[in-house]
Structure 1
Amino acid sequence: MTGLGAIFLPQNPPERLRSIARAADEAGLEQLWLWEDCFLNGGVSAAAAALAWTTRLRVGIGILPVPLRNVALTAMEVATLHRMFGDRAIVGVGHGVQEWMKQVGVKAASPMTMLREQATALRALLNGESVTTDGRYVQLEQVKLDWPPEQPPALLVGATGPKTLRLTGELGDGTILTGGTSPDGVRAAREHIGAPDGHQLVVFLPAALGPTAADRMARQQERYGMDFPGVAGDSQAVAETVALFAEAGATTVVLQPTVDDPDPEGFVRAVATEVRPLVG
């Protein structure tokens, strides 16, 4: 069965997260995803709060930009989330937006090398290993978590281009694709990833529900010009589009509301109670 979730956009103030997370949990939504976009909400702090406010909801961070954190700190934070909340915590890592990374003085000369070194070290640390490495960007000397996760979590990596997609297939248990990816883009990503059938593929799908859906989606497309603008309409239209992505190879589709959605709590409820029953 295709996994289904929704996104809490960081354009919402952080204090709005509580009501949206609780609405999602009470409605039976499977997953609520957060973004660590600069310079909005902190991903780990927001995820920890959302997990603490809920009982069943899985909370994903898509993604933590690896240049912003030492990999030992990332491992400590991910391990802590998993020790406290088990597999309800989902964490993805990635390059980050290069313009933002430059803005804060951490842009890597070789983002691919940095991502490879970080992902390799992160997996080993979360496996409870003692890690010593002297890479271009990651230098660790006998670093070992005192409280690793009881079960190593899946390592998800965000990717867009072919080289990064191949890297996610090599190093990751799953890949996160950004909003605006088309079903054909999902198929192409699958080819680049080249991973076995168990590899997760999470896709963000722009979606708008309600009487103003078409107008809001048109404004969003005018602003961002995505390759695939998303879907606007009723729950049936959204479910049919989710099915297209599932057929293309997505294992989880996460619906991304428009920034000007008038009712974010209503959006997550509708995804859980109206769209979910229509998705196989």
Structure 2
Amino acid sequence: MQVIGLCRFSYPAEGGFQVGHETIEDRRRYLYAPERIEDRLRSFEAITLAGLRAQTDPDFTFVILVDEALPEPLAERLLALIQNMPQAVVVPWAPGPHRKVCQQVLNMARTDPAASCIQFRMDDDDTVAVDFVERLRADVKLVQPLCDANRLVTLDYNRGFVVQADARGLAAEECTLPYYPMGMAMVIAGGVRQSIMNFGHSKVAQFMPTVTFTDSPMYIRGHNAFNDSRQKAHVQPVRLPRADAATLAVLQNRFGVTEPEVRRIYGA
């Protein structure tokens, strides 16, 4: 069964942001502001790609949705980061309605639209456990009768870590978050054109059966000053403790994220 991941790398969609902008050009200026985009490139390299490169099952497609007008220097840096990752595909797209564009991009990535597939999604500062793709295929077999009887089924992995990376290294805290985007996957039946991006992540249980697994940490939720959810007024700061030796070992073993590499990337 094909496994497809989607990451919107600072894509200036119409909608899909909690931060409001009057025009697409305003949104582009916000997204490509030097301090912000530098932080996103670093988190993408240090966190997102670390987990994906270390997958125990390398048979997946990772679609990176970008603005067709992504400035050339940024596009070159992004391509350099994934040059040795055969699963990664960069898809440039004109700004358009958030959910519709993501649905189109995911459907284009399906090698056989008549066959079932598994889809997952993440932001450019999130990642998944090194056995995530392997687990998806195994867990679909566990719930195969449910998938056979439904057009859509959500697999929810609710245990993970909130992590902040910086030049000092890693701050982190374990968490349990039900139905969060980076800890979810969706089984899409053959012939169904809907995608994981057609649904608000917190509302999937209103539309389809869901199965929650809580046995081991399966995701990292990236946290930083540039998170979309952090831009609203009166948002309370989240203070994460510096990662101790035990936490650092879990982050390395489960996600391929190491403090020396984080320090190198953020200290550059």
Report the TM-score, using the length of structure 2 for normalisation.
Answer: 0.31
Greater helix fraction, Structure 1 or Structure 2: 1
Report the TM-score, using the length of structure 1 for normalisation.
Answer: 0.31
